[in-house]
Amino acid sequence: MKTMWAPWRMEYIQGRKDESCIFCKAISEQDELTLYKGSTTLVVMNKYPYINGHMLVAPNRHLSSLEQLSRSEKGDLLQTVDQSIAVLKTVMHPDGFNVGLNLGKVAGAGVESHLHFHIVPRWLGDTNALTVFAEVRVIPEHLKSTYNNLKPYFDKINTTI
């Protein structure tokens, strides 16, 4: 029998289940994973990432679909996605990206009521036999370390997004 220790999951398993929107909460409160808060968009680290640097970009308004956004909000949202990719390129030097939007529960939206883009940096060889055969994902850097590496770059572009 194989054993994989993941003690950090106990906080999630035993913790009080918060039904509030994680994006609205990040806008209204000081959140330790929020990289950027702009006038119409925000960027947060994914608390349960697929890989280091996995972040989420969302409009500040609590909306579930693209057609609910104004033209200006759509432009700001895409510009924030672009700026976030630029930061990841500078700090983490990935070989590529998966950038996506899951609309609706059946499409994989974990928070279906608040539209958000996933930005997932990718490196050649970042999926290996452990992931494929053992269904185990190895994330080599702690979430707080990744946040600390990225945050200064978001602070620098805070006025330009």
Q: What is the pLDDT of residues 93-146, one digit of tens each?
A: 999 999 999 888 887 777 878 999 999 999 987 775 555 555 666 677 888 899
Q: Which of 4-13, 34-43, 82-91, 109-118 has the lowest mean pLDDT?
A: 4-13
Give Cα 148 to chain centroid, integer Å: 15
pLDDT tens string 18-73: 568 888 888 888 778 999 999 999 999 998 888 899 999 999 999 999 999 999 99
**Beta bridge partner(s), residue 122:** 96
pTM of the model: 0.79
54 catalytically annotated: no
What local confidence, expressed as pLDDT, does residue 73 receive? 95
What local confidence, expressed as pLDDT, does residue 89 receive? 97
What local confidence, expressed as pLDDT, does residue 133 receive? 53
**What CA–CA distance (Å, rounded) separates 90 from 121?**
12
DSSP state of 66: G
* More reliable by pLDDT, 123 or 16: 123
- What domains are there in the chain, each with its CATH number? 21-157 (3.30.428.10)
**Is the distance from CB of 53 to CB of 146 less than 8 angstroms?**
yes
* Given 114, 116, 118, 142, the catalytic residue: 116
**What CA–CA distance (Å, rounded) separates 25 from 22?**
5
